[in-house]
């Protein structure tokens, strides 16, 4: 960040009084600009025992498989973000059930949240950010072609819980690759 979004003056890096982190501070108007982690929200959408995956049509990880997920927008809840992303990426409507997994990824300043969800019908398709969408049984998941470690963590926990007959909440922090 170079300039204050409030008044346009050049910002400086310093630790504001009462804080413990370097922040972008405007010496002219005093605005403190906090840069915080981004939230990526998605869901494990199931239909008839199969899970919906999307093959990415964008970078990063073009051509690899992922759960429908993306960056949360201002003004929406996490559940709304999961539903919106599923519509955008897979043209699918879901009923959100429970928060299932939280994955902290400090080295890229992201937090990934995944809900358990059910497809409301079998009507899904290819959104702008997907090359294809498919329902997979556990044995069919393209594990070697998953786009993100957070997705692999979530799917492994999901299928493990499903086999055990009870879903819990799962949390992980991913180290740098």
Cis before residue 60, ω within 30 degrees of 0?
A: yes
Closest Cα partner for 41 from 95, 86, 97? 86
- So what's the pLDDT on residue 33? 96
Query: Domain 1-35 adopts which CATH fold?
Result: Ubiquitin Ligase Nedd4; Chain: W; (2.20.70)
CA distance 158 to 165: 10
- Would you kindly state where each structural domain of the chain is located, as residue ranges? 1-35, 38-173
- So what's the pLDDT on residue 136? 98
**pLDDT tens readout for residues 15-54:** 999 999 999 999 999 999 999 999 999 999 999 999 999 9
**pLDDT tens readout for residues 66-114:** 999 999 999 999 999 999 999 999 999 999 999 999 999 999 999 999 9
- So what's the pLDDT on residue 16? 96
Separation in Å, CA 6 to CA 10, 27, 29: 11, 12, 8
Strand-pair partners of 50? 47
- So what's the pLDDT on residue 102? 98
Per CATH, the number for 38-173 is 3.90.79.10
């Amino acid at each position: 960040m170079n300039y204050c979004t409030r008044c346009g003056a050049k910002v400086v890096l310093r630790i504001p009084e009462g804080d413990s982190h370097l922040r972008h501070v405007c010496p002219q108007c005093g605005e403190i600009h906090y840069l915080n982690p981004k939230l990526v929200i998605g869901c494990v959408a199931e239909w008839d025992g199969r899970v919906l995956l999307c093959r990415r049509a964008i970078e990063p990880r073009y051509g690899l498989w992922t759960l429908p997920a993306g960056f949360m927008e201002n003004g929406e809840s996490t559940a709304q973000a999961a539903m919106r992303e599923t519509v955008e990426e897979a043209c699918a409507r879901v009923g959100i059930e429970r928060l299932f997994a939280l994955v902290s990824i400090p080295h890229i300043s992201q937090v990934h949240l995944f809900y358990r969800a059910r497809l409301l019908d079998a009507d899904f398709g290819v959104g702008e950010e997907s090359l294809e969408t498919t329902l997979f049984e556990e044995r069919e998941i393209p594990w070697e072609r998953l786009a993100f470690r957070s997705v692999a963590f979530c799917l492994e926990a999901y299928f493990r819980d499903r086999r055990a007959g009870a879903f819990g909440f799962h949390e992980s922090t991913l180290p740098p690759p």
